[in-house]
């Protein structure tokens, strides 16, 4: 299963505009609160997320939906002070967390983080307020309604002569390499974004872009669109402002890294779609 996917959450969009339904959810004895400290999840001894009893008096509750038939909330309109970056402790916790909890955390984190960074109306600048059970913000000044945004990002396994192109950024742990990635720009198709990003970052022209899978990525709120593309040649002209290094890895090297052998490079973590993409490439 691809990381940050697979949780059986009923999002209940039809109830978000119903204040009475929201009040019933708050008062439901079975309602639970997903516990966050800032944007990070305290975890239980078994690595799972912590759920607490819901206090009906809370005024910062955001309704995630229904989990196993019970209302599930997360708290936090946000004040802009929560750290948006990933800590090493968080990444370690995600590696041990059950897959469904990873997905649930991703939804909660993205929602809380969006509220923390969008306290004012983008149209008129007036302070906005939480609306639709937490899934929007409304502006008392001009009446605009703002919704949580998702930014599309392409991530691609570029292949040439039975090898795949891998790169690394200087902020990553030493030895880690991954597939190239970049944001889709305004007015661009997925295929055009793949071709542009690979050419910009590695100087390689590609064609034959094929979609593989997608993944929500809550850092802060992106949709990773995994693709495979074929390079016209293997000459690299690396943009040092984007990449620290890049190289062509053989299928055996990728297979070994995915199996835990760090001799050539460290593979992406299990919750990243980059790992799923490389696994798909290895098996053809």
> Based on the domain organization, do 112 and 213 belong to the same domain?
no
pLDDT at 83 (0 to 100):
53
Let me know if residue 262 belongs to a domain: yes
Q: Tell me, what CATH number does 183's domain have?
A: 3.90.79.10
Let me know if residue 134 belongs to a domain: no
pLDDT at 84 (0 to 100):
63
Let me know if residue 129 belongs to a domain: no
Let me know if residue 250 belongs to a domain: yes
Number of domains in the chain: 2
Average pLDDT over residues 218-236: 97
> Based on the domain organization, do 172 and 216 belong to the same domain?
yes
pLDDT at 284 (0 to 100):
86
Residue 209 has pLDDT above 70, yes or no: yes
Let me know if residue 3 belongs to a domain: no
Could you tell me the residue range of the domain that residue 199 belongs to? 151-282
Let me know if residue 66 belongs to a domain: yes
pLDDT digits (tens, 9 = 90+) for 59-83: 999 999 999 999 999 998 655 555 5
Residue 55 has pLDDT above 80, yes or no: yes
> Based on the domain organization, do 80 and 187 belong to the same domain?
no
Asked if 72 contacts 26 with a C-beta cutoff of 8 angstroms, the reply is: no
Name the band, by pLDDT with cuts 50, 70 and 90, for residue 112. Answer: very high
Query: In b/e form, how buried is each residue of 213-234, taking b as 16+ CB within 10 angstroms?
Result: ebbbbbebbbebbbbbbebeee
Residue 88 has pLDDT above 80, yes or no: yes
Instruction: Quote the percentage of the chain above a pLDDT of 90.
Output: 90
Average pLDDT over residues 138-166: 97
Dump the DSSP string for 210-277. EEEEEEEETTTTEEEEEEEEEES-------TTT-SEEEEEEHHHHHHHHTT--SS-BPPPTTSHHHHH
> Based on the domain organization, do 274 and 167 belong to the same domain?
yes
CA atoms 210, 213, 214, 215: torsion sign:
negative
pLDDT at 76 (0 to 100):
81
Let me know if residue 140 belongs to a domain: no
Average pLDDT over residues 183-211: 98
pLDDT digits (tens, 9 = 90+) for 263-272: 999 999 999 9
* Alpha-carbon gap, residue 148 to 165, rounded angstroms: 33
- Of 21-30, 36-45, 220-229, the range with the lowest mean pLDDT is 36-45
Let me know if residue 133 belongs to a domain: no
pLDDT at 105 (0 to 100):
97
Average pLDDT over residues 22-41: 95
> Based on the domain organization, do 155 and 226 belong to the same domain?
yes
Name the band, by pLDDT with cuts 50, 70 and 90, for residue 1. Answer: confident
> Based on the domain organization, do 157 and 202 belong to the same domain?
yes
> Based on the domain organization, do 156 and 268 belong to the same domain?
yes
pLDDT at 161 (0 to 100):
97
Residue 173 burial (CB count, 10 A): 10
């Amino acid at each position: 299963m691809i990381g940050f996917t697979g949780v059986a959450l009923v999002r209940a969009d039809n109830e978000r505009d119903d204040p009475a339904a929201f009040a019933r959810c708050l008062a439901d004895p079975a309602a639970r609160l997903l516990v966050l400290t800032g944007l990070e999840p305290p975890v239980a001894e078994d690595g799972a997320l912590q759920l607490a009893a819901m206090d009906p008096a809370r005024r910062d509750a955001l309704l995630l939906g229904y989990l196993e038939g019970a209302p599930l909330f997360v708290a936090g309109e946000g004040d802009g002070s929560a750290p948006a970056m990933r800590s090493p402790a968080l990444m370690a916790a995600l590696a041990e967390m059950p897959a469904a909890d990873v997905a649930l955390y991703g939804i909660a984190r993205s929602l809380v983080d969006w509220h923390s960074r969008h306290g004012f109306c983008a149209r008129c600048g007036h302070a906005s307020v939480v609306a639709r059970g937490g899934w929007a913000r409304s502006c008392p000044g001009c009446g605009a309604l703002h919704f949580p945004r998702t930014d599309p990002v392409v991530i691609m396994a570029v292949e040439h002569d039975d090898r795949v192109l891998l790169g690394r950024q200087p902020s990553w742990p030493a030895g880690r390499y991954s597939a190239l990635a970049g944001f889709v720009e305004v007015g661009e198709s997925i295929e055009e974004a793949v071709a542009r990003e690979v050419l910009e970052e590695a100087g390689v022209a590609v064609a034959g872009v094929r979609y593989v899978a997608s993944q929500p990525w809550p850092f802060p709120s992106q949709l990773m669109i995994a693709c495979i593309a074929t390079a016209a040649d293997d000459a690299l002209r690396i943009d040092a402002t984007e990449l620290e290094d890049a190289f062509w890895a053989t299928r055996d090297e990728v297979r070994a890294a995915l199996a835990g052998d760090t001799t050539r490079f460290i593979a992406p973590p299990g919750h990243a779609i980059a790992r799923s993409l490389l696994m798909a490439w290895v098996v053809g």
